[in-house]
Structure 1
């Protein structure tokens, strides 16, 4: 897929070098960090939805500072 298929949040700021990027790949979603574009994680839509729900519920807050 061309690089133009990757999307990132408008909350990333102007530099764009410290952002999570996503794109669809068939029935899956691919996620990467802009600083490490070769490290791609492929998720199902259900896996991504479960992860987002966990973030919103604060399940990962203990990992941050």
Structure 2
């Protein structure tokens, strides 16, 4: 598994339940939750933008399903 330079969300506290993001060499982004760091979500930058927009608007049900 590649080694990523993880960044913690500025909204995360020093405890558990932190969201981390890292850039992958192929231009995609990796997201993980600190309580389960082996599970990674891989997103293109536009997909992350859509996810964050939906979360902020409380409209996750509007996102396309895989």
Uncovered stretches (5+) of structure 2, i.e. residues with no partner: 61-66
Cα deviation code 1:6-50 (max 9, x no counterpart): 1112321122x2111100002100000101010011100111011
Which ranges of structure 1 fall in alignment gaps of 5 or more residues?
61-65
Q: 1 or 2, which has the higher helix percentage?
A: 1
* TM-score when normalising by structure 2: 0.76
Aligned length: 57
Q: CA RMSD in A?
A: 1.3
After superposing on structure 2, the runs of 4+ consecutive aligned residues of structure 1 that deviate more than 2 Å are none
TM-score, normalisation: structure 1: 0.77
Range with greater deviation from structure 2 (38-47 or 50-59): 50-59
